[in-house]
């Protein structure tokens, strides 16, 4: 809605009752409003605007015996129509300042369109010397969204400190995305997100202990209500120690380009359902040089796993779904990765199936967005087939693992989220040449722009 000419900046659009979808914003007083523009903007965002109530303070005028209302700050004219119009306007003089309340529509084609109000009530108000802005309140109802809008004109200051509000369809609560599981949701339409994350990973294989610190930066942009583009750049520091030998290394990982298409969304009051498909292409950009036999006494396939990469050019395919209702959010995704070789090395092709369960723990009195504390439990099943080295399949390089990951997510502001997660293995059936994951701690933030 903030992209409408008459709407304020997004930070000035405030939801006051997240359960009922009620919100308030003050439109720009010098811009004309449009029902059709509001309807189309909400349609692009996935909502349906079925009808609207509008209250306007302006000057009553008459032209060719047809009454209309003039708002001086914007110069906008509202045609007044309806079967009971004479009765509604009875006792009101032309040129007086009045408040009209009624059904709001845009009539006519684009080149000859006009805003029309069918009044249900009209009354005189006092004029004011300075222009005042409008006040709106958003409220969806089920199964179809109905809207009421109220704003003042330049002539009146009666709403300056008023508690009177207007109703329009507000978004259902938009939960913070899952931490490790792919979300089918998009970020901000014609905006995006910056997500820096830090992973602390502990692995081992026999006497070999491996510690990784991975900084992963993801930047996404949403050019349409259905499509999201994303760039993911990882940088890793890896250290190892087998009791006799130790070492470390730094390097860039494989950069991945993502595109997501949300093909399904069903919105309801205080929740929604959505599904998306995602395709990623992992590029062979990462550091490929592994420690030598002299640096660490381990098989070549094991030493290759001490680099920041799992192979070369690799396509990713992903399908995800989520359902939000009240304080609970459920979701999951399935992903397939076809690993490509780089200098004769790759890990095995992968299938990943993950689930996500979220609960809004705080605030208990959940009326306005912001300040939510989400309790999250995610699961990940990973099956990896045999890898390859020097053009040959490597026996003992396949694995099947199942992880749990409890986490917390705090929405410090509508555009800023802090999150953390601790992942540990529950089932770990790995071949003798695969590093075994012991723990994976994730700390990150999300900033929407």
Q: Which CATH superfamily is domain 10-151 in?
A: Nucleic acid-binding proteins (2.40.50.140)
Above 60 in pLDDT, residue 320?
A: yes
> What do you get for the CA distance between the two ends of the chain, in Å?
15
Mean pLDDT for 355-371 is 84
Using the 8-state DSSP alphabet, how is residue 245 labeled? -
Q: How far is CA 325 from CA 45, 270, 347, 402, 419, in A?
A: 19, 6, 39, 27, 21
Compute how many other C-beta atoms are within 10 angstroms of the C-beta atom of residue 67.
21
Enumerate the domain spans of the chain: 10-151, 191-448
Higher local confidence (pLDDT), 432 or 35: 432
Above 80 in pLDDT, residue 403?
A: yes
Q: Using DSSP, how many helices (H) and how many strands (E) does the chain show?
A: 3, 25
What pLDDT does residue 225 have? 86
CATH of 191-448, one of 2.40.40.20, 3.40.50.261, 2.40.50.140, 2.40.128.130: 2.40.128.130
What pLDDT does residue 21 have? 55
The rounded distance, in Å, linking the Cα atoms of 198 and 216 is 6
Higher local confidence (pLDDT), 75 or 142: 75
What pLDDT does residue 415 have? 85
What pLDDT does residue 145 have? 31
Above 50 in pLDDT, residue 146?
A: no
Q: How far is CA 81 from CA 47, 114, 365, in A?
A: 28, 12, 43
What pLDDT does residue 17 have? 62
Which DSSP string corresponds to 159-171?
TTT-------PPP
Q: Which of 171-175, 184-188, 189-193, 369-373 has the lowest mean pLDDT?
A: 171-175
The rounded distance, in Å, linking the Cα atoms of 150 and 213 is 54
For the record, the structure tokens of 253 come out as 């990982």
- Mean pLDDT estimate for the chain: 84
Above 50 in pLDDT, residue 175?
A: no
For the record, the structure tokens of 130 come out as 């300075």
Mean pLDDT for 365-381 is 86
What pLDDT does residue 341 have? 97
- Of the chain, the percentage scoring pLDDT greater than 70 comes to 80
Using the 8-state DSSP alphabet, how is residue 182 labeled? P
Instruction: Give tens-digit pLDDT for 84-103.
Output: 898 899 989 898 988 888 88
Above 90 in pLDDT, residue 227?
A: yes
Instruction: State the pTM of this model.
Output: 0.74
Q: 3-class secondary structure for 106-131? A: EECCCCCCEEEEEEEEEEECCCCCCC
State the pLDDT confidence band at 254, using cuts at 50, 70 and 90.
Answer: very high
* Residue of 111, 156, 164, 103 lying closest to 137 (CA atoms): 164
Above 70 in pLDDT, residue 164?
A: no
Give residue 31's Cα distance to chain centre: 29
The rounded distance, in Å, linking the Cα atoms of 412 and 213 is 26
The rounded distance, in Å, linking the Cα atoms of 109 and 107 is 7
For the record, the structure tokens of 168 come out as 């329009």
Q: How far is CA 354 from CA 330, 333, 426, in A?
A: 11, 5, 14
What pLDDT does residue 27 have? 66
Place of tokens 């709403």: 159
**H or E element at residue 315:** strand 314-325
Mean pLDDT for 133-141 is 36
Compute how many other C-beta atoms are within 10 angstroms of the C-beta atom of residue 277.
15
Above 90 in pLDDT, residue 307?
A: yes
Instruction: Give the three-state DSSP class for 348.
Output: coil
Higher local confidence (pLDDT), 177 or 410: 410
Query: Under a CB-based contact definition with an 8 Å cutoff, are residues 180 and 197 in contact?
Result: no
* Residue of 55, 90, 82 lying closest to 71 (CA atoms): 55
For the record, the structure tokens of 108 come out as 């006519």
Above 60 in pLDDT, residue 297?
A: yes
What pLDDT does residue 137 have? 37
What pLDDT does residue 141 have? 31
Instruction: Give tens-digit pLDDT for 100-123.
Output: 888 889 998 777 788 999 999 999
The rounded distance, in Å, linking the Cα atoms of 337 and 315 is 6
Residue partners of 400: CB distance under 8 A and separation at least 6: 382, 383, 384, 427, 429, 430
Instruction: Give tens-digit pLDDT for 11-21.
Output: 666 666 666 55
């Amino acid at each position: 809605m903030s992209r409408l000419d008459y709407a304020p900046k997004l930070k000035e659009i405030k939801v006051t009752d997240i359960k009922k979808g009620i919100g308030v914003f003050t439109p720009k007083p010098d811009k004309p409003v449009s029902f059709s523009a509001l309807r189309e903007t909400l349609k692009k965002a996935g909502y349906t605007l079925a009808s609207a109530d509008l209250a306007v303070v302006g000057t009553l005028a008459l032209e060719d015996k047809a009454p209309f209302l003039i708002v001086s700050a914007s110069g906008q004219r509202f045609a007044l129509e309806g079967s009971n119009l004479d009765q509604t306007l009875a006792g009101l003089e032309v040129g007086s300042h009045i408040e009209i309340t009624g059904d709001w529509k845009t009539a006519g084609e684009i080149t000859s369109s006009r805003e029309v109000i069918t009044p249900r009530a009209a009354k005189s108000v006092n004029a004011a010397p300075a222009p005042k802005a409008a006040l709106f309140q958003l409220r969806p109802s089920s199964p179809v969204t109905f809207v009421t809008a109220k704003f003042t004109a330049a002539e009146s200051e009666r709403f300056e400190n008023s508690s009177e509000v207007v109703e329009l369809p507000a978004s259902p609560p938009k939960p913070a995305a899952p931490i490790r599981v792919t979300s089918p949701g998009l970020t901000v339409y014609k905006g995006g997100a910056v997500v820096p994350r830090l992973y602390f990973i502990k692995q081992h294989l026999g006497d070999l202990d491996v510690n990784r610190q991975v900084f992963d930066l993801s930047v996404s942009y949403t050019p349409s209500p259905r499509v999201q583009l994303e760039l993911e750049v990882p940088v890793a520091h890896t250290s190892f120690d087998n009791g006799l030998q130790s070492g470390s290394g730094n390097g860039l990982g494989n950069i991945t380009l993502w595109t997501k298409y949300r093909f399904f969304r069903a919105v309801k009051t205080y929740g929604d359902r959505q599904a998306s498909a995602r395709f990623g292409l992992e590029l062979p950009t990462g550091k490929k040089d592994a420690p030598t036999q002299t640096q660490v006494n381990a098989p070549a396939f094991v030493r290759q796993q001490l680099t920041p990469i799992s192979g070369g050019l690799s396509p990713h395919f992903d399908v995800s779904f989520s359902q939000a209702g009240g304080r609970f959010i459920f979701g999951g995704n399935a992903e397939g990765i076809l690993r490509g070789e780089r200098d004769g090395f790759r890990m095995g092709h992968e299938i990943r199936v993950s689930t996500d369960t979220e609960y809004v723990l705080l605030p208990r009195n959940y009326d306005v967005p912001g300040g939510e504390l989400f309790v999250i439990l995610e699961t990940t099943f990973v099956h990896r087939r045999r890898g390859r080295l020097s053009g040959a399949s490597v026996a003992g390089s396949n694995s099947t693992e199942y992880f749990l990951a409890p986490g917390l997510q705090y929405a410090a502001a509508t555009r800023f989220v802090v999150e953390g997660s601790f992942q540990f293995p529950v089932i770990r059936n790995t071949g003798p040449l695969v590093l075994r994951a012991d723990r994976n701690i994730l700390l990150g933030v999300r900033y929407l722009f």
